[in-house]
Amino acid sequence: MIEAWTADEIRAAEKPLLDAGTPLMDRAARALARTALADVARRRSAGSSPRLRLAGALGSDGVPGPGRVRPPRRHGVSRNAAHGARAVLLVGAGNNGGDALFAGAHLARSGMRVTAFLVASAVHAEGLAALEAAGGEVIARSELRVPVVVEQVAAADVVLDGLVGVGSRGALRPPSGGIVRALVESRAAAEATGAPWPWVIAVDVPSGIGVDDGSVPGPVLPADRTLTFGAHKPGLLLPPAAHVAGVVEVADVGLGAAQGPQVPGTLRMEEADAAAVLRVPGVRDHKYTRGVVGVVAGTEKYPGAGVLVAAGAVRSGAGMVRALGPTTVTDRILTRHPEVVTAGGRVQSWVLGPGIPSDGSDAGQDRRVYGALAAVTGVLDAEVTGGVVPAVIDAGAMAMLEHRLPEIAVLTPHAGELAELMRGLGHEVDRADIEAEPVRWARAAQRATGATVLLKGAVTVIVGSGVTFAQAEAPAWLATAGAGDVLAGLLGTLLAARADDVLADPSLTSRVAAAAVVLHGRAGALASGGGPVSATDVADALPRVIADVLAR
C-alpha cells in the first residue's frame, strides 16, 4: 500500500532529523542529480523525439504515465554520458529551490551546462554558492525575462522544477505563474510541431499543485518524472494533479524511521493489497458461502448493460449470479452466461442500475431497484433480499436514492453522473466542475449520501469515511462503453464474497472497492496490450488477472 504524507506530516517527520543535523537536503539533491543524469543519458542513447519522451513516461508494460508510481531504482550511469548536456533550473525562494541549486551543482560538476533562473530575490544561499562554485550560470530575479527562460528551456535537455515544494500555497504567484504559463504554451507548440522539448523533473512535487488535495489551482509545468522526497504526497496520487506528475519515484532521504501519518488519509492500493482483499475458496466452500450477486441491470433499451454486469460478476468468481429483469434482458444474459440464475432469492450483494435510464421508462426494473435499495438502507427488509447486504449503486439507480445510505453501499458515478447526483442534492455543478476538483466532489458526495463513493476516471478515486484511495492502473483504452458495467459486476462479486466482513466492519467497503478498481484496471491493461479494448475483453481478462495477482 502506498501511503501519502501531507505537507504537515512531512514537516513533522523531518523536524527531529533536521534538529539532529541529518543532511536531508544533501541527500535529496544527490538523488535528484543522479536521476537527472540517468534520464539525460537514457534519452541521449535513445534519441529525444517527443515520441520517445512519451515512451519514456509509459513504462515497459504500457501503463500510462500520469499518476503512475514506480519503486526507487538504482542509476548506474556513467557521468560522461551526460557531458555537455544542458540543464535549466527553475529556482524558488524556499528549500525546494535549494534542492534544485545543490542538484545543479552536482550536474555542473558532472560536465553539464547548468543555468539557474531565480524567481525570488533571495534564494537558498548555500545552494546558490554551491552552484556558482561549480561553474553554473545564474540569472537573478532582476534580470529575469520570460522569453529568455522559454528559449533556454526549449534548448535544454533537462529542466528541474524547483519553484515550490511542500511549502506551496495556492496558484503560483508572479513571476513563477507567468513563466510556467509561457512554458506550458511553448510545450504545447512543440508537441504540435514535433519540435524537441526537454525532459522535466519536478523536484518533490510539480510546482503549483495542491500538495495535500491534488488540486491544480493555476498553471503547472507537467513533469515527465517527479522525484519526491521521503514519501508520496497526496497530490501526487490524486487527480487532477496526478496527471501532471509523470512517473513518480520516491527518493529515500531517511525519513523511514520517522513517524508517518497515524491514519493515512490518501492511499494507493497495490496488487498485493488487492490480493489480500480477495476471498479464495477453500474445501468447505460451496456456491452460497462464496457469495451470490443479485443484479438489477439492463432494460429493453439497454440490454447489453445487464450482460456486461453479469460478465463482470461471473468472470470474477461469484458463487452465483442472480439477474432480475425483463425477459429481453435475462434471455440475452442467459445466452452469453448460461450459469446465471434468473429466479429471485437471497443474495449477499446487489448491483443496481447499469442500463436503467432515470426516465422511469422501465417500471419493473425501477420497482426492483427501489426494493433492493430499501433493503440496503435497512428501511424495509425486502422479501427479495432477506436482509441488509452491501450494494453497488450505478447509473440510473443513483437517481432513485430516497434515504441516507450506509457505508456498505458503493456509488459508482463517472464525472457526469456525479454532477447530476450533486445537482440533485442542491449543488450548482456540471461535469467540468467535477473534473476540475474530483476529490473534493467525491468527498462531498460521500458526506452527503453516507455511501462509499467510487468516482471513475483515468485516476479513479474511492472515498470512504476518512480515507481516499486513488488508483491509476487503467490504460486510457478502458474509456469505452460498458467498461463501467463490468466494474460494477466485479465489485458486486468482491462484496458478496466478503459480505459478512463488510457488514461487521463497513470501513472495509472502500478497500474492497479499491481492489475491484485495481483488478479492473489490470484487466484493461492486459486485454488492451497497448491497443483497443472492448468491455467484453476486460471481463474475459479478469480470471487471468485474478490468478496473477493471487500468485504474486
Ligand X SMILES: Nc1ncnc2c1ncn2[C@@H]1O[C@H](COP(=O)(O)OP(=O)(O)O)[C@@H](O)[C@H]1O
Residue ranges that bind ligand NPW, judged by CB under 6 A: 10, 14, 24-25, 28, 92-99, 164-173, 176, 203-204, 229-230, 253, 255
Give the Cβ contact number of residue 307 at 10 Å.
Answer: 28
- State yes or no: residue 456 binds ligand X (CB under 6 A): yes
Residue 317, contacted partner among ligand NPW, ligand X, K ion, none, CB below 5-8 A by kind = none
Write out the E strands in 396-457: 409-411, 452-455
**Residue 167 in marked binding region:** yes
Residue 106, contacted partner among ligand X, ligand NPW, K ion, none, CB below 5-8 A by kind = none
Q: What is the CA radius of gyration of the chain?
A: 25
Among 101, 149, 172, 203, binds K ion (CB under 5 A): 203
- State yes or no: residue 478 binds ligand X (CB under 6 A): yes
| Full 3-state SS string of 467-502 | EEEEECCCCHHHCCCCHHHHHHHHHHHHHHHCHHHH
Give Cβ neighbours of residue 485 (< 8 Å, ≥ 6 apart). 297, 304, 305, 308, 309, 312, 354, 355, 394, 535
Residue nearest to ligand X (CB): 484
Nearer to ligand NPW, 123 or 376 (CB): 123
As measured in angstroms, the least distance from the Cβ of 227 to ligand NPW is: 9
Q: Is 493 in contact with 313 (CB distance < 8 Å)?
A: yes
Question: How far is residue 100's CA from residue 130's CA, in Å, rounded to a whole number?
Answer: 11
Nearer to ligand X, 52 or 481 (CB): 481
Nearer to ligand NPW, 231 or 398 (CB): 231
**Residue 460 in marked binding region:** yes
Number of residues in contact with K ion under rule CB under 5 A: 5
Of 132, 125, 134, 127, which is closest to residue 106 (Cα–Cα)?
134
Question: How far is residue 342's CA from residue 243's CA, in Å, rounded to a whole number?
Answer: 43
**Residue 231 in marked binding region:** no
**Residue 98 in marked binding region:** yes
Question: How far is residue 123's CA from residue 96's CA, in Å, rounded to a whole number?
Answer: 10
As measured in angstroms, the least distance from the Cβ of 233 to ligand NPW is: 9
Cell, residue 215: 488540486
**Residue 36 in marked binding region:** no
**Residue 456 in marked binding region:** yes
- By CB under 5 A, the residues from 159 to 188 that bind K ion are 161, 165
**Residue 95 in marked binding region:** yes
Among 176, 207, 226, 299, binds K ion (CB under 5 A): 207
**Residue 355 in marked binding region:** yes
Choose the stretch contacting ligand X; rule: CB under 6 A; options: 11-19, 165-173, 372-380, 481-489: 481-489
Cell, residue 187: 510545450
Question: How far is residue 399's CA from residue 301's CA, in Å, rounded to a whole number?
Answer: 18
**Residue 301 in marked binding region:** no
DSSP 8-class letter at 341 = B
Task: List the beta bridge partners of residue 460.
Answer: 471
Give Cβ neighbours of residue 512 (< 8 Å, ≥ 6 apart). 277, 491, 494, 495, 498, 502
Nearer to ligand X, 464 or 475 (CB): 475
- Spell 201-235 as b/e; 16+ CB within 10 A means b: bbbbbbbbbbbbbbbbbebbbbbbbbbbbbbbbbb
Residue 79, contacted partner among K ion, ligand NPW, ligand X, none, CB below 5-8 A by kind = none
As measured in angstroms, the least distance from the Cβ of 458 to K ion is: 22
Q: How far from 398 is each of 30, 353, 358, 469, CA to CA, in Å?
A: 51, 7, 8, 21
Among 56, 306, 457, 492, binds ligand X (CB under 6 A): 457
- State yes or no: residue 352 binds ligand X (CB under 6 A): no
Give the Cβ contact number of residue 94 at 10 Å.
Answer: 18
**Residue 273 in marked binding region:** no
Question: How far is residue 167's CA from residue 271's CA, in Å, rounded to a whole number?
Answer: 32
Residue 172, contacted partner among ligand NPW, K ion, ligand X, none, CB below 5-8 A by kind = ligand NPW
Among 115, 186, 228, 460, binds ligand X (CB under 6 A): 460
The stretches of 47-142 forming alpha helices (DSSP H) are 50-58, 95-109, 125-133
**Residue 80 in marked binding region:** no
As measured in angstroms, the least distance from the Cβ of 112 to K ion is: 19
Nearer to ligand NPW, 362 or 437 (CB): 437
| Contact footprint for ligand X (CB under 6 A) | 414, 456-458, 460, 474, 476, 478-479, 481-485, 487, 520
Annotated binding site for K(+): 96, 161, 207
Q: Which residues are annotated as a binding site for (6S)-NADPHX?
A: 95-99, 165-171, 204, 305, 355, 414, 485
Residue ranges of the binding site:
95-99, 161, 165-171, 204, 207, 305, 355, 414, 456-460, 484-485
